[in-house]
Amino acid sequence: MPITSFADISLSHIFQELPFLVESGLFVDVSGYGTVADDATVGRISLTVTTYTDVDGNRLTHSRLLRKMMNLPPCILPCAYCVPSKVEVNPPATCPLCLAECPSPHWKKETIVAKLTVMTTGEITVDSPFASQLHAFLAPLIMKQVKRFEERQHDIIRVFEEYEQAKLRKRKSMENMRKITEV
């Protein structure tokens, strides 16, 4: 059975995996999500995607958070990424790894917003220059949550029906108790 809302799947399980996208050079944060009034669409998720590119065109592919998640020290010191260059062409910036103020950073930071549309079947479409990377990473995670929902849906419905029956029995029992006490 198709999903009808984000409440049917656990977005937190998907979002907690986002730091691992750093391995492909993408720093991704969720900037918002919402439902859509469309029968085939569950909703849209906005992702803020940041890349850090050095002068050679290489992307930064590790982060303090990812290192911490792997039980490693937050940063290798001294940080090789923020070693100042001899020519000061850029304004001072905070290093994305060691968080030190770098007087002449030799990286370029770019940020875009990616739109992720989730269909009721669990399929996704991504509107972003990084669509292929985001789709390859997020599609299996979302499909896993949809399959989990489909497997547990019958149990969820059964538990809800049992709860409603228990509530009805309790209400009848309370009514019977009132009748007995009134007499």
The pLDDT tens digits of the residues spanning 17-29 come to 999 999 999 999 9
Residue 33 structural domain: 6-152
User: Is the residue at 159 inside a domain?
Assistant: no
For residues 150 and 56, what is the distance between their CA atoms, to the nearest angstrom? 47
User: Is the residue at 161 inside a domain?
Assistant: no
The whole-chain average pLDDT of the chain stands at 85
Contact 22, 62 (CB under 8 A): yes
Provide the domain count of the chain. 1
User: Is the residue at 54 inside a domain?
Assistant: yes
Q: Return the sign of the alpha-carbon dihedral for residues 116, 118, 123, 125.
A: negative
- Residue 167 pLDDT > 60, yes or no? yes
Given this model, what pLDDT does residue 114 score? 96
pLDDT (tens digit per residue) in 131-162 = 999 999 999 999 999 998 888 877 777 777 88
The separation between the first and the last C-alpha atoms of the chain, rounded to the nearest angstrom, is: 51
User: Is the residue at 1 inside a domain?
Assistant: no
Given this model, what pLDDT does residue 139 score? 95
User: Is the residue at 157 inside a domain?
Assistant: no
User: Is the residue at 136 inside a domain?
Assistant: yes
User: Is the residue at 83 inside a domain?
Assistant: yes
For residues 125 and 116, what is the distance between their CA atoms, to the nearest angstrom? 6
β-strand pairing of 41-54 with 27-38: antiparallel
pLDDT (tens digit per residue) in 55-94 = 788 898 888 888 888 888 777 666 777 765 555 556 677 7
pLDDT (tens digit per residue) in 92-138 = 777 888 777 777 777 888 999 999 999 988 899 999 999 999 999 99
User: Is the residue at 94 inside a domain?
Assistant: yes
